[in-house]
Structure 1
Amino acid sequence: MPDTRGPRAAGDVPDDDDRRPRGHLTGRAAILALVVCAIALTLAYPVREYIAQRQEIAELRHRERLAQREVERLAEHRRRLSDEAYIKREARRRLHYCMPGEKCYVVLDGGADDAPQQTGPARKPPWYETLWRSVEAADRP
């Protein structure tokens, strides 16, 4: 809106708008900043909870998929266990079961040593053995 008072003389008192320094924070701007901060703080907790719930939902969906795969695997295993041929095959393989009327042989390798071979690093003694050895060593003169 144009100034209707006319040209100013050299000794006129400046308006309120002219007295306000430029670039400083005004009362309105301070209140606006305070309101914006209050809104941000008010929304921070619900937004954080929303994000946490979304992550939890994603984790639960992942666990549901894993559980569904396990159910499918177990259903397949159950189906196989109802098959008589599978049961016979597993009994022979796992239990070395011999069907009635069959002759079964167990072949033993005569040249093999019954003791297990150690191919890896030396076995570390248990903690109590190490403790006892240290007590015995401390007891010696």
Structure 2
Amino acid sequence: MVLGIVAVMAFVLVYPTLHTYLRQQSDVRELRAQVAAARERNEDLLAESARWDDPAYIAAQARERLSYVMPGETPYRVVDPEIIADAPETTDEPATDAEAAAPLVPWYTAVWDSVTVAGTVGTADPSDEAGATVPDSRPSTAPSVAPSAGG
């Protein structure tokens, strides 16, 4: 019985210390893994930074991200075949929000068109009782496309 009491006392005295030691070892492993991940991320960022020192990489990024072309080259824009169909289809269904919001021209062309049209849009006709505006008689520069049946 005395031996059992001594064993219990030893367990009570050693367990908190052992538990703390094991928890700290686990924390150290996690911190080492975080340090290794941070070093790997740092190496990746340094490699990315070194790539930006190369003029060819900068030119490639300008071509890809900003659609820049070199002097003398002819730029082409590939149009998504799902947006512009070969033959216009007519349906009686109204266009969905996604179809109506799909830009058919580059955004900068749409902005420029809105700037040029802003001062020339018809004004309200005083003789019109409903106060409707006079439609613009100029042709639109945006291509017209019927909504696709595929969705």
Change in 2 beyond 3 A, CA 1:118/1:69: farther
Name 2:46's counterpart in structure 1: 75
Q: Partner letter of residue 49 of structure 1?
A: T
SS in 2 for 1:67: helix
1:118 & 1:51 partners in 2: Cα distance? 64
Name 2:71's counterpart in structure 1: 100
2:2 & 2:22 partners in 1: Cα distance? 30
Q: Partner letter of residue 31 of structure 1?
A: V
2:149 & 2:43 partners in 1: Cα distance? 41
Residue 8 of structure 2 is aligned to residue 55 of structure 1: no
Shift of 1:100: 3.5
Number of matched pairs? 90
Structure in which a larger fraction of residues adopt helix: 1
SS in 1 for 2:83: coil
Residue 75 of structure 2 is aligned to residue 113 of structure 1: no
1:74 & 1:118 partners in 2: Cα distance? 46
1:59 & 1:119 partners in 2: Cα distance? 51
Calculate the TM-score normalised by the size of structure 1.
0.55
SS in 1 for 2:73: coil
Name 1:36's counterpart in structure 2: 7
Calculate the TM-score normalised by the size of structure 2.
0.52
- The gaps in structure 1 that reach 5 residues or longer are 1-29, 121-141
Residue 72 of structure 2 is aligned to residue 65 of structure 1: no
Shift of 1:106: 2.5
Runs of 4 or more above 6 Å deviation: 116-120
Aligned Cα root-mean-square deviation (Å): 2.6
Shift of 1:103: 3.1
- The gaps in structure 2 that reach 5 residues or longer are 85-98, 103-147
Shift of 1:36: 1.7
Name 1:7's counterpart in structure 2: none
Identical aligned pairs, as a percentage? 31
